[in-house]
Amino acid sequence: MRFEKLGKTILMSTLLAGVLAGCSTGGNESKENVKSTLKVMHYDERSFYQQYGMLFSTLYPNIEIEVISTQGVYQEGKDYRESMKEFIEKEKPDVLMIDAEQYSTMAGEGKLYNLESFIKKDKFDLEGIAPGIIDYIKQQSDGILYGLAPEFYSQAIYYNKDLFAKHGVTLPKDRMSWEEVLQLAARFPTTGSKEDRVYGFKAGYQTSLYYFGLSIGTSQGLSYINPTTMQMMINSDSWKRVFEMADKAIKSGSLYIEDPNQNGGGGSYEEYLLRDAFIGGKVAMVMEGNYLMNQIKEAKNVLKEGKGVQNWDVVTVPVNPQAPDESTGMSLSQIFAIDAKTANADAAWQFVSYINGDDFARVTSKLQNGGFPSRTKYLESAEGIHMEAFYSLKPAQNNMYKGFDKIPQQFHMKYEPLTQQEFQKVTDGKATISEALDTLQAKGQQLLTEESKNAEKAKPAEGEASPSASGSANSGAASTSVSAE
């Protein structure tokens, strides 16, 4: 742990040196003598300075940052989004760090500063940012740009070229559907012991029938609840097709199922790396983020010659054929925007433009924090990897969690065991998928109706100050979404 902290300190010092060397002639010099205090909203002060503040303060010493921490916003039994709204109104941060749903709401209410005048005046380069990111942000705010995102999170399908060549299977390509991916995986042999055989595809860590089907359905834009009408929709034809596809793939034996009892500890570091199914050459394809890329690079440095995956590349995650240029595998965790009523618009823009600018992306692109810089020229791979797979699609609005803050928390807690119970019957051959979905539709609807009534009764009488008890504790993590099927 001590060495890890020392390494981070050395890395940050190196980054600061790079900033000073490469950015000493940066823009906004006409403002450099104007002293101001900027209130910036972030998770907490320490993480803010590690990620943004140290670099920015080095270049702009006359702008004093006051970090407005969101740590205490969530309160048990209170709607998270309502709490966040109250927090912003009370603290009045100049720079807002918000998710896409909050961004869309605040833009629609006229609470965000239009950035386009600043962008035009400073000739701020938008061309270097992944087009899908800019398009997505504008899509949330009627075509006007009120915010920018310095990084994004994305997944891709990694594939082992040697395994495809060995078994004579056609290489994967961008924008495949789930059906195409699973058909490709099924072309690999399913014979041999678990220790010695090869698997076509590893979908993730939750490969039970229900969760696998749920992940496929999410990418197809499906939802199993209409939160406006409080109606279940789990027994639709679309959901039936999705779960039948997932069931067929699992029964084919082509999917690698993670062993939950596998001991992750002990052994050498080399053994630890080889335990990864893709690095160890056990799976031909796997869907992962940039974490795996870093592990593969580490493995090449550590493993003996010839061990571990040697020839690999990536293609885009499976897409919805009806929206082949979008992906739920790509997302923006945070958008930085400026409060429309701020008295420090110029200083706020200096901060927002800097952390979304070329210099910041260049200096921080080597930091491994799970995300990618939005400026795509810093995503180039020395190994010639098809990095465009991570950003060529634009984020899709995730339908699965639309309006989940309206759904009583108790419903989710009681519905989850029902899904496991009914789909275990399918796995055991005691029920068909249609029967399981019909049962979940009926029992889920009854449960949803009951919990909605209970939540309504628990609301305070009109005019009382106490918060609504019907908000979902999970609403803060809900993704931006569109209409259901």
Q: Cβ of 242: how many Cβ atoms within 10 Å? A: 23
Does residue 169 lie within any of the structural domains? yes
Task: Say if residue 167's pLDDT is above 60.
Answer: yes
Does residue 374 lie within any of the structural domains? yes
Maximum pairwise Cα distance, the chain: 75
Query: pTM here?
Result: 0.85
Question: Do 365 and 411 fall within a single domain?
Answer: no
Question: Do 60 and 136 fall within a single domain?
Answer: yes
Question: Do 321 and 426 fall within a single domain?
Answer: no
Q: Which residue has the higher pLDDT, 426 or 27?
A: 426
Does residue 234 lie within any of the structural domains? no
| Residues 459 and 468 sit within 8 Å (Cβ to Cβ) | yes
* Helix residue spans in 140-236 (DSSP H): 161-166, 178-185, 209-219
Domain range for residue 374? 2-152+330-385
- β 326-327/199-202 pair status: unpaired
Question: Do 188 and 84 fall within a single domain?
Answer: no
Measured between alpha carbons, how far is 149 from 170 in angstroms, rounded to an integer?
37
Measured between alpha carbons, how far is 224 from 395 in angstroms, rounded to an integer?
21
For tokens 């998770």, name the residue: 43
Question: Do 322 and 176 fall within a single domain?
Answer: yes
pLDDT 10s digits, 4-33: 333 444 344 444 444 444 443 344 444 456
Three-state SS for 390-412 is HCCCEECCCHHHCCHHHCCHHHH
| CATH code, 304 | 3.40.190.10
Q: Which residue has the higher pLDDT, 193 or 249?
A: 249
Measured between alpha carbons, how far is 401 from 479 in angstroms, rounded to an integer?
6
Three-state SS for 153-175 is EECEEEEEHHHHHHCCCCCCCCC
Structure tokens at 471: 């908000």
Question: Do 96 and 182 fall within a single domain?
Answer: no
Task: Say if residue 63's pLDDT is above 60.
Answer: yes
Question: Do 192 and 306 fall within a single domain?
Answer: yes
Does residue 240 lie within any of the structural domains? no
Q: State the average pLDDT for the chain.
A: 85
- How many domains are there within the chain? 3
Counting residues of the chain whose pLDDT is more than 90, the rounded percentage is 66
pLDDT 10s digits, 79-109: 778 889 999 999 999 999 999 989 999 999 9
pLDDT 10s digits, 383-406: 889 999 999 999 987 777 777 778
